[in-house]
């Protein structure tokens, strides 16, 4: 085999221009596939990073009615749904892969919330003591909620940095009062993510997807929620998991547990709990992206087919050119297998070199595309390995016919033809 590879390299080097032109289809096909795969993976990682954020591996589990999230902003308190107890929260925390669990109330678009004469239209949450840790929020100024705030149902509030900017004009809000449905809540602190994260915004669609909470958020102690809103509202659950890969499975298990525990008649009720995690949304967007790019990969594969045909053509020419050599080798005792392996090896080496050049070209093209149009790329080592192996297989498959033709030459006729 080593001798066959050496002879193949000598043959390729002896006809450099012809070999390069023969490899061109393989080079273009492999380069195109590597570029597309690198772009797909880079885009998918960017989608995942944008949606999940700076390491906040949080799954939310919410009450649903007939398959849709039950919005308490517009609906009455649902019948046949129990409020979640501390015992249930601890049971959720025991699910494998869970780090911490928080119970919270929410309004996505709050109304009747004012600071002086400015109306607030962002989100309002009624949170328990675990909420800030689950979402990776830290107090940047002022103070957080104390146990006495919860025990005594104090009318205090926290705001995030977006609310500071949009509602308070960037001024320090600590000590200021917010009017919420006729009650007055005093801002005691400002919170923000412990790890700053900004998603990559390339167009208006990205803006609408990632920046839907730009108005900010206001947080109240969960025990004071009935003061501003209503008693006995069902809570939602936020679950921080150990890593992003377990988000979907943990969310499904938690939703099943809550449906069984919190719904009075789970088998006949129109209500149930369902999980919503950013990883699942990321995977849906990735599938949409991959379906389009898979078509591009198939189109690029046509170049490999053309390259394979070119390899078969040049190997047939090589067999014709080396008829005398083949006849001489067979005359001195070379077997069919030896001739077959020699030509197959030459074909495989030719396409393997084309595959390697294509991989290098594809990596360079991917980096150029990334720098020019700001599309993230991620070089896939498995894809590179598969590309090289596939290019070798092309050489074996398309080199088979010329190799068989060479192996079957009659030595007497070959020498006579020469």
Q: What is the pTM of this model?
A: 0.59
Q: Measure the CA–CA gap between 266 and 250, rounded to whole angstroms.
A: 20
| Tokens representing residue 365 in the block | 């093209």
Nearest to 69 by CA among 274, 237, 256, 231: 274
Q: Measure the CA–CA gap between 217 and 191, rounded to whole angstroms.
A: 10
Q: Measure the CA–CA gap between 362 and 32, rounded to whole angstroms.
A: 6
Residue with the two structure tokens 């297998």? 337
| Tokens representing residue 178 in the block | 């917010």
The domains of the chain are located at 2-49+286-417, 70-241
Q: Measure the CA–CA gap between 50 and 40, rounded to whole angstroms.
A: 15
Exposed/middle/buried for residue 171 (C-beta within 10 Å: 0-12, 13-18, 19+): exposed
Q: What is the pLDDT along the chain (418 residues), one digit of tens a residue?
A: 576 566 667 666 767 777 777 778 888 888 888 887 777 777 666 665 655 554 468 889 999 988 788 888 777 888 889 899 999 999 999 999 999 999 999 988 887 899 988 888 889 999 999 999 998 899 999 999 999 999 999 999 999 999 999 899 889 999 999 999 889 999 999 999 876 544 444 444 444 444 444 678 999 999 999 988 888 889 999 999 987 778 888 988 999 999 998 998 888 888 999 987 555 555 555 565 556 566 666 766 777 777 778 778 777 777 666 666 666 666 666 676 777 777 777 788 888 888 888 889 888 888 887 787 666 677 777 778 887 787 788 877 877 777 776 666 666 565 555 5
**β-pair type (217-221, 123-127):** parallel
Q: Measure the CA–CA gap between 385 and 305, rounded to whole angstroms.
A: 19
């Amino acid at each position: 085999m080593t001798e066959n590879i050496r002879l193949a390299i000598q043959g390729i080097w002896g006809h450099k221009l012809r070999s390069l032109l023969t490899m061109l289809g393989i080079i273009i096909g492999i380069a195109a596939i590597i570029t597309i795969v690198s772009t797909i993976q880079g885009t998918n990682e960017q989608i995942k990073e944008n949606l999940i954020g700076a390491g906040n591996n949080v799954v939310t589990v919410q009450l649903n009615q007939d398959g849709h999230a039950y919005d308490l902003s517009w609906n009455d308190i649902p019948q046949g749904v129990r409020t979640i107890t501390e015992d249930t929260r601890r049971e959720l925390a025991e699910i494998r892969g869970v780090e911490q669990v928080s119970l919270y109330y929410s309004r996505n678009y709050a109304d009747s919330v004012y600071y002086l004469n400015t109306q607030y239209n962002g989100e309002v949450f009624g949170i328990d003591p675990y909420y800030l840790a689950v979402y990776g929020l830290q107090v940047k100024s002022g103070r957080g909620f104390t146990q006495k705030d919860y025990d005594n149902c104090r009318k205090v509030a926290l705001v995030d940095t977006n609310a500071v900017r949009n509602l308070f004009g960037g001024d320090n809000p600590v000590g200021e009062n917010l009017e919420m449905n006729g009650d007055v809540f005093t801002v005691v602190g400002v919170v923000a993510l412990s790890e700053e994260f900004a998603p990559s915004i390339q167009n208006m669609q990205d803006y609408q997807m990632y920046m839907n909470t730009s108005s900010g958020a206001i947080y109240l102690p969960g025990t004071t929620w009935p003061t501003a809103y209503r008693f006995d509202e069902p809570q939602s659950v936020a679950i921080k998991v150990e890593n992003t890969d377990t988000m979907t499975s943990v969310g499904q298990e938690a939703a099943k547990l809550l449906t069984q525990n919190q719904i009075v008649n789970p088998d006949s009720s129109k209500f149930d709990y369902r999980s919503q995690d950013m990883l699942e949304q990321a995977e849906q967007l990735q599938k949409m992206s991959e379906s389009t790019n898979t078509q591009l990969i198939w189109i690029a594969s046509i170049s490999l087919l053309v390259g394979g045909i070119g390899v078969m053509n040049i190997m047939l020419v090589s067999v014709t050119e080396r008829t005398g050599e083949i006849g001489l080798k067979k005359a001195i005792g070379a077997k069919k297998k030896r001739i077959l392996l020699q030509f197959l090896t030459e074909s495989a080496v030719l396409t393997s070199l084309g595959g390697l050049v294509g991989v290098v070209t594809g990596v360079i093209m991917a980096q150029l595309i990334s720098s020019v149009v700001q599309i993230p790329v991620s070089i896939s080592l498995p894809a590179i390995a598969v590309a090289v192996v596939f290019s070798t297989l092309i050489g074996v498959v398309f080199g088979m016919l010329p190799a068989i033709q060479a192996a079957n030459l009659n030595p007497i006729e070959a020498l006579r033809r020469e």
